[in-house]
Amino acid sequence: MKNIITIQHTESVHHKNGMVGSWTDWPLSDKGRLQAERIGEKLKEETEGKTFVLYSSDLLRAKETAQILGRHLAITPVFLDVLRERNLGKAVGKSVAWLRENMECQEKTVDDRLFSDAESRRDVWNRLKDFHEKILMDDSENILIVSHGDTLSIWNALFLNLTPEHLNRADLFGMAGGVSFFQVNPEGKHILRRLSDLSYIR
């Protein structure tokens, strides 16, 4: 049985100041650090005796979340750019208001890009695909992944064997600090046990 736990990074400064997250290196807020501590404490208690591998986006808000979790679970995170949030091109470093006023394309399909130099959701899908396959083939039974909201929504669809086109009609989004639980059973069936459980940050 393979167990995969994904954690959406906790509250970041950009959640409060009206700025775009994307590839900007926003740190966690004080509240976000406390939330990450709570997740770490609860996961340590629940996973006592299990050995985990921890992968994380290398963007600061995810990195800080993973470092706090790693301290509680006595593991060193592996930081990967493949787990970054979607690159929004020209909007990186700008405000959400600027993004809305200057958007070059309405996002209606998985192939649309808000800006000419931004990633589409299919781009993120393709970026994640090899990592997803690596995780499924990995000998590790217990895996933690710390990433971002849009990236993890695409991970969720990948894990459930959906196609990119399904994202034109449905989505599986979580919230900051949400903890999700996945399993691959001995027969190879992919099981979503819980999606974006926010009890861990309370």
Q: Determine how many CB atoms are found less than 10 A away from the CB of residue 142.
A: 15
For residues 184 and 160, the answer to whether their CB atoms sit within 8 Å is no
- Measured distance CA(202)–CA(193) in Å, rounded: 20
Give the SS3 label for residue 146.
Answer: strand
- Measured distance CA(99)–CA(181) in Å, rounded: 33
Assigned CATH topology for domain 2-196:
Rossmann fold (3.40.50)
Q: Determine how many CB atoms are found less than 10 A away from the CB of residue 17.
A: 11
Percentage of the chain beyond pLDDT 90 is: 100
- Per-residue pLDDT reduced to its tens digit, 129-145: 999 999 999 999 999 99
pLDDT of residue 33: 98
For residues 107 and 119, the answer to whether their CB atoms sit within 8 Å is no
Give the SS3 label for residue 145.
Answer: strand
User: Which DSSP helix (H) or strand (E) runs through 64?
Assistant: helix 60-73
- Per-residue pLDDT reduced to its tens digit, 1-60: 999 999 999 999 999 999 999 999 999 999 999 999 999 999 999 999 999 999 999 999
- Measured distance CA(102)–CA(182) in Å, rounded: 38
pLDDT bracket for residue 124 (50, 70, 90): very high
pLDDT of residue 156: 98
- Ranges of each domain in the chain: 2-196
**Residue 192 — φ and ψ, nearest 5°?**
-95, 110
Distances 199 to 120, 148, 168, 192 between C-alpha atoms, Å: 31, 18, 30, 17
Q: Determine how many CB atoms are found less than 10 A away from the CB of residue 175.
A: 12
Q: What is the separation, in whole angstroms, between the first and last Cα of the chain?
A: 29
pLDDT of residue 130: 97
pLDDT of residue 202: 95
pLDDT of residue 201: 98
For residues 56 and 63, the answer to whether their CB atoms sit within 8 Å is yes
Distances 143 to 3, 36, 134, 135 between C-alpha atoms, Å: 6, 17, 12, 8
